[in-house]
A and B are shown apart, each in its own frame.
Chain A
Amino acid sequence: MREAGIGRLLAANLLCALSVLLTAVLPALLLDGFSVLGTHLTWLCVCSVCVATLNIILHLVLKPNQSPKRRSFAHKISRFLKCCIYFFMSCILFHAIIVLYGAPLIELVTETFLFAVLLSTFTTLQCLCLLGPNIQAWIRVFSKNGAMSIWESSLQITSMCSILGAWFGAFPIPLDWDRPWQVWPISCSLGATFGYVAGLIIAPLWIHWNRKQLTYKSR
């Protein structure tokens, strides 16, 4: 049973990773003049939208945390609205944190905001899909022994990897190599993407390696 769970997780994660890679390649065939470095803002929008839709579809199909209660339609609508509000608030929060870290305040606002949207897609959207708009569950998941299933462990790993990737992506900015990918926010967003993909691949492997130590408290 557990192995099947890890297998499903691996399949879902690989599909997400593949979709991210496709967003870099496919639009070049459909739109002319598209490139990840050249039209970076377009790529950010495309990537966020693709990853978001894929994640939503995967979680609707796979339903990793099935709640047995049937909810009313109005409840579902309110949950959906709450999710949207939380997502938007997390975008604003990420934007503020990025500006406080040293991003320009008045110039390049669109770039910073789209980077914040990308980071939110990689972190907050996963939380919303998996745990719903429930802040207490989020608090519980992001603590040391708080993961209650392999999907939540995977969520921990991918979120932390994408944020670490974004942090490391800030390192090439002061270098004087004059490369096109040193422009803000390309290096940070590429770092976040690499971190996310790496987290997607590492998470099933880590869970498989540690499957004896990971004991989840059953609800």
Chain B
Amino acid sequence: EPETIPQVNLVPTVALLLGVPIPYSNIGEVMADMFSGDGDAVSAALQQLSVYHINAKQVDRFLQSYSLVAQDLPAEQLQHLQELFSSAVEEHTQLLTQVQGTVVPPELEPRLGSLISRFQHYLREARAVCTQSWARFHPLRMVGGCTLIASSCLLCYVASELAASSQSFCCSCLLYPLFWGPVGAAVLWLVHVFTQEGLDLLLGLSWAAAVSQLGFFWHWWGQHLKRALLTGSQLPLASGGLRQRLRAWLGLAFPMGILFFRCGAMFSDSFVVAEARVAPFLLASLVMLLVGKLHWDGHLTVPEGPKQQLLGFSSYRREIWYLLCLVAMFLVCVRLSSFFHQCREEIPQCRPSVFLSPLASLRNTRAKNLFYLLCVALLAGLVYAVQSWLRHYGNLNSSDPLVLFVRWGFPLVVLCIACYWAVASSADDSLGKLQELVQVAVVVFPRAVYGLASTGLLLLLCNPMTVFTKDTRESAGCIVTPYLGVPGSEVDFLHVIPQIYKRMQESQKSRLERGSCRATVAAYGLGSVYSAALVIALTLLGFLLMLLHSERLSFAFLLLFVEAFVLLHIHTCARNLAGDAELFSVPWYAVISWLLAASQFFYSTGHQPIFPAIHWNAAFVGFHLDHNTNLLPAVLVGANTFASHILFAVGCPLLLLWPFVCEMSNSQRKKLKKESQEELQEVEEQMMEMRLRESPEEFSTALLRLGLKYLFVLGAQLLACVCAAMILRRHLMVWKVFAPKFLFESLGFVVSSICLLLGISLVMRVDCAVSTWFSQLRLR
């Protein structure tokens, strides 16, 4: 059985063998067998003693300076160690005075052995004291926290399925636990008041959360039993229960299996290090599996007539080429996004992407100019694309302040960003006398962008309707101008008759012009009013975040927008092909793919979940000198780091809204062709997003379910990171890999949740504005 030694012992041994000083914070014990030398046992012992002395002096100095700075090492143990050290050193110096050269008097020889063992005892005790105090975990709190997160995930899952079944008691299930939480916290506070202990805020909040979750599960279980009693009396139990349940589980296995692999990858340090490649791989697999599943279920082929079934032939629908093009574009975007990765320091042979360095660091002016023009062209292209999308759906017609901002404010923002990039990337020495102007410009342009973006967001919040109304109804005013008094003379009567005649002429003219159509209110852009508001918000946020990153990362942001757009279209196309009638629920694969794309772009915007990879210079965009507070630079750096989380979380409601916006009327037209001609007058109009307003309860339930599904998937990833950090807390790479990953994932969770709430509240704000608009129309 070979002897095992702690790894920290390598540090002083190698340092002393090389002849360099032992590192300052070492708490290892030197391996004295290496320092025996060639002589006899006595000279070996003397050499070992000197080596131990050096090591002990280093440890003592470290402990003394540490105890001056921090107080987590217990004072009496430090005192004891100090006594051990001083007595051993005293005896050693005494011994050395009695030794001449390497000749040791024979009576001192047994003292050498005991002195060596005293030094060893000191060093081992010092390490034990440090280990005990530093590598200290609270296992109970860790398990409690994991359980709380797991039950929250379960709550989200159960609530999202619950809301599907009935809307009435989902309110009771979700509202009452909100009251239970503070009650539980109050109980805990009372207990602490009686026992005279201090109340830990963390424990109090956890207790409140646990109590409210218990309340939810208790309500849910009661309702579940009631419902089971009701339905159990009506239907007998299905006979093929096990096989059907297995099939249902297999149906869910397809997106959940990918989520399982993603969470399982958090437990291996190699997979966490390589997560920049794992997330795109899983996302591509998810999309291909979706296409494969559609193919397997026969949704991609033309529905077979009896003749085709006989021949055994099948042929694809025409929409499949559209789907295949989208999938190909999606895969190309995913592959291209791998060119923007940053490197971790654990992988020495990795080269960080060339697009991460700012333009100012390029030496070749031609390349610099070319990249600058490309970046500005990308920004202009993004503005053009957003404006043409809005124009296509009729949202750019009105003269509201928001629409004017989209038409003129967006190009202005692009101009400011372009000027800022031009000034920031110019060489320091080339401008000479314009240095002061450059300093001012470097501060003014970003602040102009901040101001414009916040103006845009304020306008969006105040009046999010981008609808142009054309009212051709007749005004319900009086026919004649009213006048007071009795008509005294014939002149007054003569005054009335021409007005009546003019009014009759106008109404006849309008009736003749439009045939049988009634006068109506035409609203342009009402079918995509929710999505338009979200798209405008996302574009503004995108500009803000592009400003905080280096210039050439605008390629990555363009890939982000293109990939999100293509993903939404793939989702819509898959729904249309599968003939999914339930439009108010977002399937799991869509939510999981949206979150995988968010993780993918965390890495593709030049970030890694380690501290050295944080882009600190994002805090100085628009602020040339030091900051006064910590809040503003924290917000800027946080927005830079979690840019993709912010964009994808705010854009999450698009998963619900996009199938309504891209409502395919082709299927309806084809149905009409098959049916007889006399039903032509029952043309079903395209309602797009107004279909959501037809059933407002279902709309709000759908938003709630989408939010709960998103939180479930986020929570599952967070749970995996937390469990990995808990289980692997003694792993070699815990402080390099697992703990930073846990911190980044939890901060990302907080940011994503807040932005998800903001996105959903924006949709609800638009809903309120649309209701107000409708009520105003009805009043007139």
Please indicate the chain A residues that have their CB under 8 angstroms from the CB of B111 in the complex.
none
- Are A136 and B314 closer than 8 Å at their CB atoms? yes
- Are A174 and B331 closer than 8 Å at their CB atoms? no
Query: What's the nearest-Cβ distance from chain B to residue A209, in Å?
Result: 14
Please indicate the chain B residues that have their CB under 8 angstroms from the CB of A219 in the complex.
310, 312
Please indicate the chain A residues that have their CB under 8 angstroms from the CB of B270 in the complex.
174-176
Given that A101-B281, A102-B338, A174-B271 are contacting pairs, would A140 and B332 also be in contact in the complex, using a CB cutoff of 8 Å?
no
Interface code A159-193, partner B: CB below 8 Å = 1, 0 otherwise? Answer: 00000000100100011100000000000000000
Nearest residue (CB) in B for A138 is B314
Given that A100-B332, A136-B313 are contacting pairs, would A143 and B277 also be in contact in the complex, using a CB cutoff of 8 Å?
no
Does A60 sit within 8 A of B, measured CB to CB?
no
Q: Which of A136, A137, A174 has the most CB of B within 10 A?
A: A174
Say which residue of A142, A148, A174 sits within 8 Å of B274 (CB atoms).
Answer: A174
Within 8 A of B (CB), among A134-167: 136-137, 139-140, 142-144, 146, 148, 167
Given that A136-B313, A139-B314, A139-B316 are contacting pairs, would A144 and B280 also be in contact in the complex, using a CB cutoff of 8 Å?
no
Given that A101-B284, A102-B281, A143-B297 are contacting pairs, would A148 and B312 also be in contact in the complex, using a CB cutoff of 8 Å?
yes
- Are B335 and A174 closer than 8 Å at their CB atoms? no
Q: In the assembly, what is the distance between CA of A197 and CA of B284, in Å?
A: 26
Say which residue of A142, A144, A170 sits within 8 Å of B281 (CB atoms).
Answer: A170
Query: What's the nearest-Cβ distance from chain B to residue A79, in Å?
Result: 17
- Are B295 and A143 closer than 8 Å at their CB atoms? yes
Does B285 sit within 8 A of A, measured CB to CB?
yes
Does B592 sit within 8 A of A, measured CB to CB?
no
Does B298 sit within 8 A of A, measured CB to CB?
yes
Nearest residue (CB) in A for B277 is A102
- Are A99 and B298 closer than 8 Å at their CB atoms? no
**What DSSP secondary structure best describes chain B's contact surface?**
helix
Does B278 sit within 8 A of A, measured CB to CB?
yes
- Are A143 and B278 closer than 8 Å at their CB atoms? no
Query: What's the nearest-Cβ distance from chain B to residue A152, in Å?
Result: 10
Please indicate the chain A residues that have their CB under 8 angstroms from the CB of B313 in the complex.
136-137, 140
- Are A143 and B280 closer than 8 Å at their CB atoms? no
Does B25 sit within 8 A of A, measured CB to CB?
no
Does B301 sit within 8 A of A, measured CB to CB?
yes
Say which residue of B281, B285, B314, B332 sits within 8 Å of A143 (CB atoms).
Answer: B314
Please indicate the chain B residues that have their CB under 8 angstroms from the CB of A176 in the complex.
270
- Are A174 and B312 closer than 8 Å at their CB atoms? no
Q: In the assembly, what is the distance between CA of A100 and CA of B270, in Å?
A: 22
Does B296 sit within 8 A of A, measured CB to CB?
yes
Q: In which size bucket is the chain B interface? A: 20 to 34
Does B649 sit within 8 A of A, measured CB to CB?
no
Interface code B271-312, partner A: CB below 8 Å = 1, 0 otherwise? Answer: 101100110110011001000000111100100000001101
Please indicate the chain B residues that have their CB under 8 angstroms from the CB of A167 in the complex.
285
Please indicate the chain B residues that have their CB under 8 angstroms from the CB of A100 in the complex.
284, 331-332, 334-335
- Are B298 and A144 closer than 8 Å at their CB atoms? yes
Say which residue of B295, B310, B312, B332 sits within 8 Å of A142 (CB atoms).
Answer: B295
Given that A102-B277, A102-B338 are contacting pairs, would A139 and B271 also be in contact in the complex, using a CB cutoff of 8 Å?
no
Given that A102-B335, A176-B270 are contacting pairs, would A143 and B301 also be in contact in the complex, using a CB cutoff of 8 Å?
yes
Q: In the assembly, what is the distance between CA of A148 and CA of B309, in Å?
A: 11
Interface code B241-277, partner A: CB below 8 Å = 1, 0 otherwise? Answer: 0000000000000000000000000001011011001
**What DSSP secondary structure best describes chain A's contact surface?**
loop
Within 8 A of A (CB), among B322-349: 331-332, 334-335, 338
Q: In the assembly, what is the distance between CA of A38 and CA of B535, in Å?
A: 54
- Are B285 and A102 closer than 8 Å at their CB atoms? no
- Are B312 and A140 closer than 8 Å at their CB atoms? yes
Please indicate the chain A residues that have their CB under 8 angstroms from the CB of B165 in the complex.
none
Given that A100-B332, A102-B277, A102-B338 are contacting pairs, would A143 and B271 also be in contact in the complex, using a CB cutoff of 8 Å?
no
Query: What's the nearest-Cβ distance from chain A to residue B343, in Å?
Result: 15
Q: In the assembly, what is the distance between CA of A170 and CA of B312, in Å?
A: 36
Please indicate the chain B residues that have their CB under 8 angstroms from the CB of A136 in the complex.
313-315
Please indicate the chain B residues that have their CB under 8 angstroms from the CB of A148 in the complex.
312
Within 8 A of B (CB), among A14-31: none
Query: What's the nearest-Cβ distance from chain A to residue B268, in Å?
Result: 7
Q: In the assembly, what is the distance between CA of A143 and CA of B291, in Å?
A: 12
Q: In the assembly, what is the distance between CA of A102 and CA of B274, in Å?
A: 12
Please indicate the chain B residues that have their CB under 8 angstroms from the CB of A146 in the complex.
298, 314
Query: What's the nearest-Cβ distance from chain A to residue B422, in Å?
Result: 33
Query: What's the nearest-Cβ distance from chain A to residue B190, in Å?
Result: 52
Please indicate the chain B residues that have their CB under 8 angstroms from the CB of A139 in the complex.
295, 301, 314-316
Please indicate the chain A residues that have their CB under 8 angstroms from the CB of B335 in the complex.
99-102, 105
Say which residue of A99, A105, A175, A217 sits within 8 Å of B268 (CB atoms).
Answer: A175
Please indicate the chain A residues that have their CB under 8 angstroms from the CB of B310 in the complex.
219
Nearest residue (CB) in A for B278 is A174
Q: In the assembly, what is the distance between CA of A97 and CA of B281, in Å?
A: 11
Q: In the assembly, what is the distance between CA of A144 and CA of B273, in Å?
A: 39
Please indicate the chain A residues that have their CB under 8 angstroms from the CB of B295 in the complex.
139, 142-143
Given that A136-B314, A136-B315, A167-B285 are contacting pairs, would A144 and B297 also be in contact in the complex, using a CB cutoff of 8 Å?
yes
Query: What's the nearest-Cβ distance from chain B to residue A210, in Å?
Result: 12
Query: What's the nearest-Cβ distance from chain A to residue B88, in Å?
Result: 43
Nearest residue (CB) in B for A176 is B270
Query: What's the nearest-Cβ distance from chain B to residue A130, in Å?
Result: 13
Query: What's the nearest-Cβ distance from chain B to residue A133, in Å?
Result: 14
Within 8 A of B (CB), among A95-139: 97, 99-102, 105, 136-137, 139
Q: In the assembly, what is the distance between CA of A144 and CA of B299, in Å?
A: 10
Please indicate the chain A residues that have their CB under 8 angstroms from the CB of B334 in the complex.
100
Within 8 A of B (CB), among A189-219: 217, 219
Q: In the assembly, what is the distance between CA of A34 and CA of B297, in Å?
A: 45
Please indicate the chain B residues that have their CB under 8 angstroms from the CB of A102 in the complex.
277, 280-281, 284, 335, 338
Query: What's the nearest-Cβ distance from chain B to residue A155, in Å?
Result: 14
Q: In the assembly, what is the distance between CA of A186 and CA of B26, in Å?
A: 43
Q: In the assembly, what is the distance between CA of A41 and CA of B301, in Å?
A: 38
Please indicate the chain A residues that have their CB under 8 angstroms from the CB of B316 in the complex.
139
Q: In the assembly, what is the distance between CA of A167 and CA of B312, in Å?
A: 31
Please indicate the chain B residues that have their CB under 8 angstroms from the CB of A144 in the complex.
296-298
Query: What's the nearest-Cβ distance from chain A to residue B547, in Å?
Result: 31
Q: In the assembly, what is the distance between CA of A78 and CA of B277, in Å?
A: 44
Query: What's the nearest-Cβ distance from chain A to residue B552, in Å?
Result: 20
Please indicate the chain B residues that have their CB under 8 angstroms from the CB of A140 in the complex.
301, 312-314
Q: In the assembly, what is the distance between CA of A170 and CA of B261, in Å?
A: 13
Please indicate the chain A residues that have their CB under 8 angstroms from the CB of B309 in the complex.
217
Query: What's the nearest-Cβ distance from chain A to residue B136, in Å?
Result: 29
Q: In the assembly, what is the distance between CA of A83 and CA of B449, in Å?
A: 60
Please indicate the chain B residues that have their CB under 8 angstroms from the CB of A101 in the complex.
281, 284-285, 331, 335
Please indicate the chain A residues that have their CB under 8 angstroms from the CB of B331 in the complex.
97, 100-101
Nearest residue (CB) in B for A170 is B281
Query: What's the nearest-Cβ distance from chain A to residue B142, in Å?
Result: 27
Nearest residue (CB) in B for A142 is B295
Query: What's the nearest-Cβ distance from chain B to residue A171, in Å?
Result: 8
Q: In the assembly, what is the distance between CA of A136 and CA of B484, in Å?
A: 85
Q: In the assembly, what is the distance between CA of A148 and CA of B270, in Å?
A: 45
Please indicate the chain A residues that have their CB under 8 angstroms from the CB of B301 in the complex.
139-140, 143
Query: What's the nearest-Cβ distance from chain B to residue A100, in Å?
Result: 4
Q: In the assembly, what is the distance between CA of A143 and CA of B292, in Å?
A: 9
Query: What's the nearest-Cβ distance from chain B to residue A33, in Å?
Result: 28
Query: What's the nearest-Cβ distance from chain B to residue A157, in Å?
Result: 13
Q: In the assembly, what is the distance between CA of A137 and CA of B315, in Å?
A: 9
Q: In the assembly, what is the distance between CA of A148 and CA of B277, in Å?
A: 40
Within 8 A of B (CB), among A65-82: none
Q: Provide a sorted-by-A list of 5 A–B residue pairs whose CB atoms are within 8 angstroms.
A: A100-B332, A101-B331, A142-B295, A144-B297, A167-B285
Name A residues whose Cβ lies closer than 8 Å to a Cβ of B: 97, 99-102, 105, 136-137, 139-140, 142-144, 146, 148, 167, 170, 174-176, 217, 219
Given contacts A143-B298, A170-B281, 10 further A-B contacts (CB under 8 A): A97-B288, A102-B338, A136-B315, A139-B314, A139-B315, A140-B314, A143-B296, A144-B297, A217-B309, A219-B310
Q: Which 9 A-B pairs have the closest CB atoms?
A: A174-B274, A100-B331, A136-B313, A140-B314, A139-B314, A175-B270, A143-B298, A176-B270, A100-B335
